[in-house]
């Protein structure tokens, strides 16, 4: 057995025996454009509006474009809570509105061994991404104050439901009372730690492990 292979095996055994994790692959980031003025930079918990195009590194095939596919609108997501692939959560931190980046994402931070749709297993992906807008995420004090309609420093189910209704309308979706009620019940089940029927400022802004 060649020495290099022994080295790899011993390294893997060392990490396994000692309970350590192998270093996670990194995202390669290339800044394509950055605006002269930057009033805020993206961080975990922010809600981002982006346009993007995705390509397979292996042959340059485009597998999706928000400009060309679907409703051709940019997409919203919350950074850092696994709504998107790990490569995006890592590679879109510290960006300005209007900034464009090229991300080269290894399989472990994309769709891994399974692949997805047009993306084969173990594919390295390339994304050209532009941030259109950055908004306060659901864990910010600003969002809490926006939801707290009577300024009593706690959120009732009615206040959360009203906030969801406004958000749906702002993004062009028709309000759905039944759907909103289900969402509110799910939110309170997870966030109302003392089961008093309200979400306090502390319960709202506390960063849970899953986030």
Q: Are 125 and 87 in contact (CB under 8 A)?
A: yes
| Superfamily grouping for domain 141-205 | EF-hand (1.10.238.10)
Helix H or strand E segment including 165: helix 157-170
Q: Which residue has the tokens 């790990």?
A: 86
Q: Which residue has the tokens 């008093």?
A: 196
User: What class has domain 28-136?
Assistant: alpha beta
**Tokens matching residue 8:** 């790899």
141-197 pLDDT, tens digit per residue, is: 667 778 889 988 889 999 988 888 887 777 676 767 777 788 788 788 878 888 999
The C-alpha angle 50, 55, 56, rounded to 5 degrees, equals: 145
**Tokens matching residue 116:** 């997805």
Q: How far is 180 from 159, CA to CA, in rounded Å?
A: 12
**Tokens matching residue 103:** 């991300």
9-34 pLDDT, tens digit per residue, is: 444 444 444 444 556 789 999 999 99
Instruction: Return the domain boundaries, the chain.
Output: 28-136, 141-205
């Amino acid at each position: 057995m060649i020495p290099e292979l022994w080295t790899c095996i011993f390294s893997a055994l060392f990490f396994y025996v000692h309970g350590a994790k192998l270093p996670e692959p990194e995202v390669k980031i290339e800044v394509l454009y950055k605006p002269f003025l930057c009033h805020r930079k993206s961080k975990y918990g922010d809600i981002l509006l982006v346009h993007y195009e995705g390509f397979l590194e292996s042959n340059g095939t485009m597998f999706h474009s928000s400009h060309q596919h679907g409703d051709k609108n940019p997409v919203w997501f919350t950074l850092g809570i696994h709504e998107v692939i790990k490569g995006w959560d890592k590679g879109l931190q510290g960006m300005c509105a209007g900034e464009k980046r090229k991300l080269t994402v290894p399989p472990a931070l994309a769709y891994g061994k399974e692949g997805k749709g047009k993306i084969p297993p173990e594919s390295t992906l390339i994304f050209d991404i532009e941030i259109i807008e950055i908004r306060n995420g659901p864990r910010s004090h600003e969002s809490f104050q926006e939801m707290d309609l009577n300024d009593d420093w706690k959120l009732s189910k009615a206040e959360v439901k009203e906030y969801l209704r406004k958000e749906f309308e702002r993004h062009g979706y028709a309000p759905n009372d039944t759907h909103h009620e289900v969402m509110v019940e799910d939110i309170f089940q997870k966030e109302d730690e003392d089961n008093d029927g309200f979400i306090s400022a502390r319960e709202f802004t506390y960063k849970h492990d899953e986030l």
